Each structure stands twice: as C-alpha cells, then as structure tokens.
Structure 1
Amino acid sequence: MRTQSTVDRRNLLKLAGGSLAALGLTAAGCGTGSGSGDGTVTIRYAWWGSDDRAKRINRTIALFEKKYPKIKVKTDFQPYADFWKKFNTQASGGNAPDVFQNAIGFLRKYDAKNVLLDLREQAEQGNLRLTGFRAGLETFGEVDGKLLGVPVGSNSMALVVDRTVFGKAGVNPKAGWTWDEYHAALATIRDTQGRAGDAGPYGIMYLYDLYLRQHGKAFFTTSGLGFTEADLTDWWTKAFQGVTSGIYADPKRTIQAKPKSAVTAELAACEFTWDNFTVRYASEGKSRYGLAPIPTTDGRKTGQYLGSLMLSGSRRTKHPEEVAQFIDFMVHDPEVGKIMGYDRGVPATTAQYEAYVPDDEVGKQIAAYEKQLVETRVLEPITPHPAGADVTEAAFLRLGEEMSLGTRPVAEAVKRFFTEAKTALSS
C-alpha cells in the first residue's frame, strides 16, 4: 500500500544492509531525540519519497513548529530503497528516528524487533486523537492490540488506463466486470491498437492478494502464506501465456523504459497500481489517463481494502509526548491536508479530506474512485502482514519478472518463491 511515484518497484524493494560506518552513524543505544536548557526538544522525522513530497512536508513542519515553538523537527528523506537501508541500520543500532513514515508490511517486522512505539498510551493521555478518521482507518495501524502506526492517507488498488487507447478500442470497463472480460479487452486492444493491453500484473503482490481474496484465500495469514504452490503455478502459467500472446507487454521493453511506466512509455494500455499513483501518469505521459475497476471472479467481490501510509514512533524516543503531538498535527490539521493533497493518498481524516478538494481531473477521479468503493461497500478488512512480508514481496516481484522473461521456468520460479518466503517468514 505505497505512494512512491516514479521509482520502479523492483529497485524500491532491494532492501540491502549497510554498515554504520558507511552511513556515518554511531550505534547510539540511548534513545533518540534531544533537548535543550530552555525546554526546547528536537525530534527526528524521516520519510521516503520524491523532492516534491519533501517540499510539501517541509511546509507542514514549518506550520507545526509555529504552533509548537518548543518542538523542533530535524528532517531526513530518501528514495524508498535508500530509506529502508538506512532505517535498518539505525534501528539495529538503537537509533531509529523519533517519528517516521511507515507501511503495513513493516509493522510486525519492526514490532518483533522492539523498534515501534505503542501509541495507545499517548492516545489515552490526550496527546493523539483517534477520532475523525474516514472509513475505519483509525484501526489500520493496530497489531495485536498495540497501536503501531497512524494513517496519513488512504489508497486502494485500481487499474490505471490510457483512456485514449481504451476509447479507440471501444473498451469501457465497468464495475463488476470479470477477469474473462478483462482478458478479452486486452486482446481487443492488442488486435486493434497495436499495443499490449496490460503492462503485466503477475509480479504485483497486492493484486494477487485481491485475486486470492476473491477466491476465499489471501496472500498472507498472520503467520505465513495463505495460498499453495498450485495456486501460484496457475497464476504464473496464465501470466506467461499472456506475455507470449502479446496481451501483456514485452517485459524486456518494459524494463528498458524505466523509470517510465509501460503505460506512459506507450507499451501497454493499462496497468494495476494504487489509485493515487495516477498523478504520476498525468505528469509523465502524453495521453489522458483514468481509473478502472478491479476485475472480479463472480461480478461482485473485488477483495479490495483501503491501504495507507502511516506515521510511527520509535520505542526508544526520549520524547513520546512530542512525537504523539506531531503525529496528531500531521493527520488532523486542515492546512496540512491542503498542502499535502493526495501525495500520500486521500487524506485519512475527515478534517483534511474536507479541507482539500481537488480541482484537477486526476484528483477528482481518485476522490470519486475511493468514494465509490466506500459507498458500494466492497471494502473488506486488510490482509494481515506477518514479519518478513517485505522480503517476501521482493521475492515475488523478482521471480515474477524472471518468469516473464523466460529466464526461469514457471515451476522453478514457484518452488524458489516458496523456499524464499518460508525463510523470510520464519526468520
């Protein structure tokens, strides 16, 4: 559930280790944050994202420091992979940032490592409001009764389409369309527009999760995988057939086009991603882009849920109260909502959602898409993510790509995935 715009997911998920010396850090085990003689404290805030996100966040920090003059915020931002590389090193040394951007796939992992602050006590003390959230998002960061993260925005999987190509091909996806109809539409686009129908959905863990949920399963349980080797063999066999038939884009050309997407590079007419990523396509491509519904198995159940980026605190912070106040401000203040817009998803709280009303076509589409999901009651609880989910997702993406390129047969890719996932989820 992630809003990292222009960097491709393969590179994003190469979570490598690093040494403290290489990063110019020391293994400080005495907690984070600092204070001064006049009562002013400094907290460290880290996030991943683009330069544009950094500019927006810095504007919100200026507002926070104006309201809380005794709290100073030291910032650090990185691209996604670099963020987690640095964070892993800091967390291992007991020096994690006081507050940081987080995602569902990392909650159990870092909770098991005693890195995350349980924010429940701060909420009970009145330093963090858990009211005013949209669509039940206030529970999104709860794990085993602990509050390990607070949402800043929401998003859901969608199909981003090149509206011009779809229009010329006479394809008009509607809610409840089936996977058979989706594949038929891709073939029509291939045959009439000289372009692959889809970029290739076979390595997108979150999409496969929805497909499994439509069949009464899920990608993850609380402790492991929720599907079998036979399930994945079926998924990847059909995917490879899609590549060879041309309804999915040539993976070699897709890789060569990066950091552009296959859609904006005009190699495919659509691809599955998070709804708020649509902003990327509008700024990157030359066509008109929009959102289409997730295909279904039975015409009704989509398996969808609202995902979210969130803010978490360090268990070793010296300033839990100030961390809670900072998080509260960032998720509730209307001016913050206006500044951030849909950069991290549709604002999670009603106050920020109402404060920012998009006036651009893409923003309006994102808002309408999520409103439709809520009103039609298709949303379900999110699938649990056990510790090791991030490494498992990386393996799924990498092996799916190798399968699509033909460098690893389907049967071998499946076996390898289950081996790597077992190791990641049991470590």
Structure 2
Amino acid sequence: MPLPLSTPAGRARRRLGAALLAAVLVLTGCTSEKVTPRQNRIELSVFWWGGDQRAALTKQALEVYSQRYPNVRFTFTWQGNAGYYDRLSTEAAAGNAPDIFQIDDNYLTEYAQRDILLDMTEYVRADLLDLRKFPSGLAQSSQVGGRTIAAAGAENTPGLIYNKSLLQRLNLPEPRIGMSYPEYLDWAEQVTVRSGGEVAGTMDPSGDYKALWMWLRSQQKELYEGRQVGFTEDDLTEWFEMWQGARRSGAAPPAKVIQPANSGDVTKQLVTSGRAATSFVWSNQLPELQKLTRDKLGVVSYPGEPEAQWARAAIYWAGFRGTRHPDTVVHVIDFLVNDVTAGSILGTERGLSANLDVRKVVQESLTDESMRLTAAFGVQMADRFGSAPVPPPKGHSTVKTLLLQAAENVQFERATPREAAAAFISQANAALTS
C-alpha cells in the first residue's frame, strides 16, 4: 500500500522520488514520463502575447533548452495582447490549450477556478519547481487557494516616470520616493506655474487601478476583499475629488488632454508628448518611453508610502491542466524562471528576473542606461515593499474597465465624484459575483 505523503516515511519517499526524477532529468534530458520507441520525442506548444522582440528572445531561450534536452521540441505561437485571452479561453474550453502559456494576474484566479491551470504545488514541495530565490511576495503571488498554479516569469512595479530635463530647465526638484499625495500635488502645481501653464505637473491617474490600489493600501485597505471591492463609496469619492481638485488647480491637465493616455498606451503618455511632467505607468516601460523623447527621464515610486507597493509578477508562466507531459512542462517552466542562461537571454523585456540570483547577473550585463535605471529602481524598492495581496478575483479585468469609465465620467463632468463612485461600487460588486 502506498505510504501517505504526510507521514515521515511518506515524506522520505517523496524526497527520494524527487531526487530520482531530478537525476533522470539531468542524465537523460527527459522527464519521469516514459520515452518509448514510439514516443522518442516530446513536443510542447508554447503561447504568449508580445511583440517581435519578445518572440525572438523567448524562442532563443527555449532553443537552449532543446539543445540540452534533445528529445524536447517546441511549437511557438504569439500575438498582441488584444484578443489573447479570448483565444486562450476558446482553446482551453475545447481541451486543446497550449502546454505552456503566459498569463497575468488579471486572469490568474479565474483560470485557476476554471481548472485550466496545472497544479504545481507538489513540484514546488519536491523542489522540482524552485521558488526559493524569488522574493517571498512574488512566490506567494503564484498561489490561488493555497495551490501553486503558476510561476512568476518576471517582476515589475508601478513607476512614476518624470521628465528630468524639464525639471532642470524649470529649476525645480525631482519627485522623490515617499512623497505624500498632498506634497506631490503641491509639487505638480509648481511645475505648471513655473512652465507658464505649458506643461501640467502631473498626469491624472484617477482611472488607473494600480494608483487607486496603492492609495488604498496606504490607508490599510485593499482593492478587493474576497469577491467584493475592499473599499467604500466614500473612499472612491475622496479619490475622485482629489484629482478633480488637481485638474481645477492646473496641477493636472483638462480631460481632453488626459483621455488619450488613459488607455495606458505607451506612445500616448503625456510625459513624452510634453503635456505633463509625469506619467503613472509600469517601471519597465521606461526604456520604451525614453525612445519617444529627447529629454532625459527618471523614475520613482507612485506617491504615498512605499510599503503600499509589492513585488508584482509582470507575467506568469503556467501549464495546461490537460497537458500530456506535466513533468516536462514544469521542468521547462523551472528552466525559464531559474536558469541563468535563459534569464540572460530574456533580459528585462518582460520585467526584472523573478529569481534574485539571475536578476543580479542580468543587471550587471545591461548596457542601456534606461534599462539600468529601471533595474536599479527595482533593487531600490525591493527592501521597501510591503506584503503582497492575494491575486485579484475573477472579474478583475471588468472592474478595471468600470473604474476607467467612472473616472472619465468625472473628468468630463458627466457625473459628480460621488455619483460616479456609487455607480462604480454597484457595478463592480455585480461583476465580481456574477
């Protein structure tokens, strides 16, 4: 009779089995799955979103894996972010999802609850998927309901990107980590005044869920509490009123200037179009933003307590629950997140390496100044991060859309802050429980 894994003998058996499996992986280049004459090759499908550079780097990394383990080959599919989850959901419903795919926290909980994701908990316990070199919050963020159902492929953090050259011309100080929102908005108003109204001091991020979430965490609240929003109508009214005041004082520009940047499109950010001195974005977008302006850019954390931020996965690698090769899938994911060669190839394109040892190697190899600045910012923030919240619940993507709609209704004065807040709370909670 098999020994229960919870007994001492069972745990010893598990450790022995893990060691034997690891030995097979190293010596033969295959997994615990039997490779018969009829099955002398394992082929895995891999799917992600991103551009041509991401595709080239991902292929190159996985080609290294195939060189080490010649019986494993890959088929690659990638596309833009738009429509990615529609395609993935359709394929999963038909039972033919890719063996390995990219996912983010917008859908992590939903896909786990739909039993689409491979449960990798036992692999972690057996050290076949090693998360010990991850920041604790980043490893924790891979869990839903106590199960490890993904592994962070990279880390990212929100960043307030600012125009250093503009501030030097205006003889104004740069924003700093830990500025309170009142301090930040006073500073932004100085920028507007000193520039003669040509450049507003700040973008209006009232529709940015990241900014709202960290503002809430500074007040010991969360964006979510179970399958409900974790804040009140009064809280959101205060948030909308704060940015309404910034627009009226001139610290932030008018709605027609703000709206193009609300989507998060890097090419439309006001810090590079010259309409504002700052933009609320992701820190790893600094290199791309820098290419859009001759002015020198810098990065600090969003206003508020740095402890309100956390080590967030830019993307996760996950496996399909219905894959025919679960051991190989986990071994490949472990390679992508922990191997130094793979990490060096992938670089910072998706964000900072999740494995801290790999991150150090990659950081030392960077030559692009803006990439080095992004990496240094991540290191600077690492010791100041707070605990990670649980991954967002199903319906998170809808909630983000509803927040932006509510913010724009206030920006264009189609609704008062309280009217917009009340409508959002009702609609968001309905979306989270549907």
The answer to whether TM tops 0.5 is: yes
**Mapping for residues 383-394 of structure 1, pairs under 5 Å:** 383-394=390-401
For the pair 1:307 / 2:312, whether they are aligned, the reply is: yes
Match of 1:340 in 2: 346
TM superposition score normalised by structure 1: 0.85
**Mapping for residues 36-75 of structure 1, pairs under 5 Å:** 37-75=38-76
For the pair 1:354 / 2:360, whether they are aligned, the reply is: yes
Match of 2:105 in 1: 104
CA contact (8 A) 1:335 1:355 kept: no
For the pair 1:269 / 2:247, whether they are aligned, the reply is: no
Flag the 1:379–1:302 CA change in 2: closer, same or farther, 3 A: closer
In the alignment, the residues of structure 2 paired with residue 318 and residue 145 of structure 1 have an alpha-carbon distance, to the nearest angstrom, of: 24
Match of 2:427 in 1: 420
Flag the 1:174–1:399 CA change in 2: closer, same or farther, 3 A: same
Match of 1:403 in 2: 410
Q: Give the CA deviation at 1:116.
A: 1.1
Unaligned runs of 5+ in 2: 1-35
Q: Give the CA deviation at 1:408.
A: 4.0
What does the per-residue CA deviation read over 1:211-242, in whole Å, with 9 as the maximum and x for residues that have no partner? 00101111112322110011111111222232
Q: Give the CA deviation at 1:281.
A: 0.8
**Mapping for residues 51-200 of structure 1, pairs under 5 Å:** 51-169=52-170, 170-193=172-195, 194-200=198-204
Match 2:251 to one of 247, 253, 259: 247
What does the per-residue CA deviation read over 1:51-87, in whole Å, with 9 as the maximum and x for residues that have no partner? 2211211111211221222222111112212211212
Further displaced range: 93-102 or 320-329: 93-102
RMSD across aligned positions (CA): 2.1
Structure showing the higher helix proportion among its residues: 2
Q: Give the CA deviation at 1:118.
A: 0.7
In the alignment, the residues of structure 2 paired with residue 101 and residue 51 of structure 1 have an alpha-carbon distance, to the nearest angstrom, of: 15
Matched letter for residue 392 of structure 1: V
Unaligned runs of 5+ in 1: 1-34
In the alignment, the residues of structure 1 paired with residue 188 and residue 211 of structure 2 have an alpha-carbon distance, to the nearest angstrom, of: 17
What does the per-residue CA deviation read over 1:179-220, in whole Å, with 9 as the maximum and x for residues that have no partner? 111001111111112201122110110111110010111111
Match of 1:22 in 2: none
In the alignment, the residues of structure 1 paired with residue 231 and residue 324 of structure 2 have an alpha-carbon distance, to the nearest angstrom, of: 42
Matched letter for residue 139 of structure 1: Q
In the alignment, the residues of structure 2 paired with residue 378 and residue 325 of structure 1 have an alpha-carbon distance, to the nearest angstrom, of: 30
Q: Give the CA deviation at 1:305.
A: 0.4
CA contact (8 A) 1:135 1:374 kept: no
Further displaced range: 401-410 or 111-120: 401-410
Matched letter for residue 281 of structure 1: L
Return the index of the structure with the highest Cα Rg. 2
In the alignment, the residues of structure 1 paired with residue 255 and residue 58 of structure 2 have an alpha-carbon distance, to the nearest angstrom, of: 35
In the alignment, the residues of structure 2 paired with residue 36 and residue 325 of structure 1 have an alpha-carbon distance, to the nearest angstrom, of: 22
In the alignment, the residues of structure 1 paired with residue 298 and residue 416 of structure 2 have an alpha-carbon distance, to the nearest angstrom, of: 34
Partner SS for 1:284:
coil
Q: Give the CA deviation at 1:303.
A: 0.6
Q: Give the CA deviation at 1:294.
A: 2.8
Q: Give the CA deviation at 1:173.
A: 2.1
In the alignment, the residues of structure 2 paired with residue 355 and residue 312 of structure 1 have an alpha-carbon distance, to the nearest angstrom, of: 24
Flag the 1:355–1:317 CA change in 2: closer, same or farther, 3 A: same
**Mapping for residues 322-333 of structure 1, pairs under 5 Å:** 322-333=328-339
Flag the 1:408–1:301 CA change in 2: closer, same or farther, 3 A: same
TM superposition score normalised by structure 2: 0.84
Match 1:321 to one of 320, 327, 330: 327
Further displaced range: 58-67 or 131-140: 131-140
Aligned residues: 389
